[in-house]
Structure 1
Amino acid sequence: MSLLQEFCSVFAVPGFIIPYLHFFVTAEEMQLVIILSKEPSHTEAIAARMGKEAAETAALLAGAYQRCIIDKENNAGTDYYIAGSFYNRLKKFCQFGNYHVLPRRIRKELDAWDFDEYVKRNNYFRQVLAHDPEYENCHNEWILLLAEAEAMIDAASAIRVLPCDCKMLADNCDHSREICLVLDEKRLSDRTGGRELSKEEAKQLIRRLDQEGLMHTGGPANWRESGPQVVCNCCTCCCYPFRAGQKFGTKGRWPKSRYLAVYHAERCVQCGLCVRRCGFEAFIFAEEQGEKVASITNQVAFIRERCWGCGLCANACPAHAIELIPVEQA
């Protein structure tokens, strides 16, 4: 078996990316991954296997670790390195690498491949589809109103903003890319990347993203007791949780909706902002789309069954014709 073949097997590289593999790893890093696939090793042992000086090996390991090509674990004060995977390398590369040098056709294939891997690696959908929405350790647990996201920022122990890997991979819209906020210092590592924000800077950012038309998600559900962890700012066309939720029919349960919109047609001034901002087509121009909706008296129509309770419509309505109410009161 050649070096390339063995590396692709160990690193779980999708076949279509092999002609472009040089954008992701060097030949030396490929050799390193193969060595580490056998067993975890420390710097001196790896240097001996590769025939290199310890200092040169340490530099190679540090770079490969930062690029998410290898991982490490500490045992009794010594760092042991292990082989990574293409799945994790892709996340890092699309966030912080020169990802757009790849042809768009290949980037679309990578998005489809990564979305399939994402679904395989997370069991939230299976649990929700089995009517067990009280799952644990799930990201993007709640769809948040803007005020709730701001409250989570106020309670944060640290704030780091990162590019969204979903949006970088999918690239289906013109929305902002630097949209993921990590709010818990325990979730930050020496290779998280991104940039630090003050609480006021973070709130200014999510207000701008809200105006831009991005929804807010975050968790955990008990964040007031345990502390907030993340706030993401999502669209329906790129972000994996919403794409998966729509694909698998987990609307309302994951990401969890806790509010529903109420439309007061008598107040509506027909500006159409709600129609443009709703990613789920809960608000539509009924006449233009030929929808059969009962009791339509205005051009704007609201189809309640499509609402996910994100609040983007209410935030922009100049006539206050839309309000959000808790699901249990709907």
Structure 2
Amino acid sequence: MPLVDDFSKLFDAPGFIKPYLHFFATKQEMRLAATLGKESLTARELAGLLAQPEEEIESCLEQAYLRHIIDKDSENDTIRYRAGNFYSRLRNFCLFGNYHIIPPRIRKKLDEWDFAEYLKRNDYFKAVHDASPEYDQCHNEWILLVSEVEAMIDAATAIRVLPCDCKMLAENCDHSREICLVLDKNRVTDRTGGRELTKDEAKKLIRELDQEGLMHTGGPPNWQETGPAVVCNCCACCCYPFRAAIQLGTKGKWPRSRYVAVYDKEKCLQCGLCAKRCYFAAFHFAGMDGNEMKQMAFDPKLCWGCGICVSTCPSQAIRLVKISGGEMA
């Protein structure tokens, strides 16, 4: 079997990506993975199988590890390597590789494939849909306000900003890409990537992204006891959690919405900024008055409580109120 076929099968790559696998992995990396197969081996064992110097193999393995082609474990001071998978490599490549060398029609298929895999791998969403949310498992647990994110930043043990893999894969809008914040030093590994921010830089970024019209999500719900973990800044057209929530019908349960907008029609200037920003059509133009512009309308049932309408309203015609029972620990 040709090397690329062997690697593609082992790597769980979708069939349509086979002609483009050379963008994701070098021949040497494919050979390493194919030789490992389903086994977990040390660099010395793999070097023996390939009849190459151990130092050379170890260097190649470490590079492949950083590129999410090879995974590794350490037990009793012994490092063992195993083949990775395409799902992990795709996310690394879209964030830090030359991803746009892949043709647009193939990138579109990759987004569709990856979103389907995301739903399969996060099958605990079904528990959220069918019963009470299992927030000890779910990510992007809460829809957050800017003030809440700033409090998380103040409590962070590390601050690292990364590009958003959802946006890099979906490419459905022109919003900023470097928008995901890791706030827990224990979540930063040698494969995390990104860049470090000061607390002031992180707060400035959050305010800018809010003005840009991105929603804020994160957790865990008991972060004041355990410390904050991750904050994402989301749209509804690219970001997988919102796409999943819309598809699965988990509005109000996951990501948990704890607020709802209240609209004062008397203060409204009919500028339409809120309608342009609202991802869920809670604010929208409705009806015509002769030849005059449409009138602004608001449907609270469609509101997710993200607050990006409030921050853009020039007349303060919108405010947020907390939903009964929607407390944050």
Same structural fold, with TM-score higher than 0.5 when normalized by the shorter chain: yes
User: Is this contact kept in 2: 1:127–1:135, CA < 8 A?
Assistant: no
Question: How many residues in Structure 1 have an aligned counterpart in Structure 2?
Answer: 321
Corresponding residue for residue 200 of structure 1: 200
Corresponding residue for residue 11 of structure 1: 11
- 1:133 is the counterpart of 2:133: yes
After TM superposition, list the pairs within 5 Å mapping 1:94-105 onto structure 2.
Answer: 94-105=94-105
Corresponding residue for residue 309 of structure 1: 305
After TM superposition, list the pairs within 5 Å mapping 1:121-200 onto structure 2.
Answer: 121-200=121-200
In the aligned structure 2, how far is the partner of 1:139 from the partner of 1:128? 12
Moved more, 22-31 or 89-98: 22-31
User: Is this contact kept in 2: 1:124–1:135, CA < 8 A?
Assistant: no
User: Is this contact kept in 1: 2:47–2:53, CA < 8 A?
Assistant: yes
User: Is this contact kept in 2: 1:213–1:312, CA < 8 A?
Assistant: yes
Corresponding residue for residue 23 of structure 1: 23
Q: Secondary structure at the match of 1:79?
A: strand
Corresponding residue for residue 322 of structure 1: 318
Q: What are the ranges of 5 or more consecutive residues in structure 1 without an aligned counterpart? A: 289-297
* TM-score with structure 2 setting the length: 0.95
Moved more, 299-308 or 122-131: 122-131
User: Is this contact kept in 1: 2:135–2:220, CA < 8 A?
Assistant: no
Query: Which deviations, in whole Å up to 9, do the C-alpha atoms of 1:29-86 show, x marking residues without a partner?
Result: 1121122233211111111111111111111011100000011110101111111000
Corresponding residue for residue 293 of structure 1: none
When the two chains are superposed, the root-mean-square deviation of aligned CA atoms in Å is: 1.3
Q: What are the ranges of 5 or more consecutive residues in structure 2 without an aligned counterpart? A: 289-293
In the aligned structure 1, how far is the partner of 2:250 from the partner of 2:22? 39
Q: Secondary structure at the match of 1:95?
A: helix
User: Is this contact kept in 1: 2:135–2:141, CA < 8 A?
Assistant: no
Please state how far the C-alpha of 1:124 moved relative to its aligned partner.
3.3
% of aligned pairs identical?
61
Q: Secondary structure at the match of 1:217?
A: strand
Query: Which deviations, in whole Å up to 9, do the C-alpha atoms of 1:11-43 show, x marking residues without a partner?
Result: 001000011111001121112112223321111
> Aligned AA for 1:112?
E
Q: Which runs of 4+ in 1 moved over 6 A?
A: none
In the aligned structure 1, how far is the partner of 2:139 from the partner of 2:173? 23
> Aligned AA for 2:46?
I
* TM-score with structure 1 setting the length: 0.95
In the aligned structure 2, how far is the partner of 1:74 from the partner of 1:80? 6
Query: Which deviations, in whole Å up to 9, do the C-alpha atoms of 1:194-234 show, x marking residues without a partner?
Result: 00000000010011011100000000000000000011000
Corresponding residue for residue 72 of structure 1: 72
> Aligned AA for 1:323?
R
Please state how far the C-alpha of 1:2 moved relative to its aligned partner.
3.1
After TM superposition, list the pairs within 5 Å mapping 1:231-246 onto structure 2.
Answer: 231-246=231-246
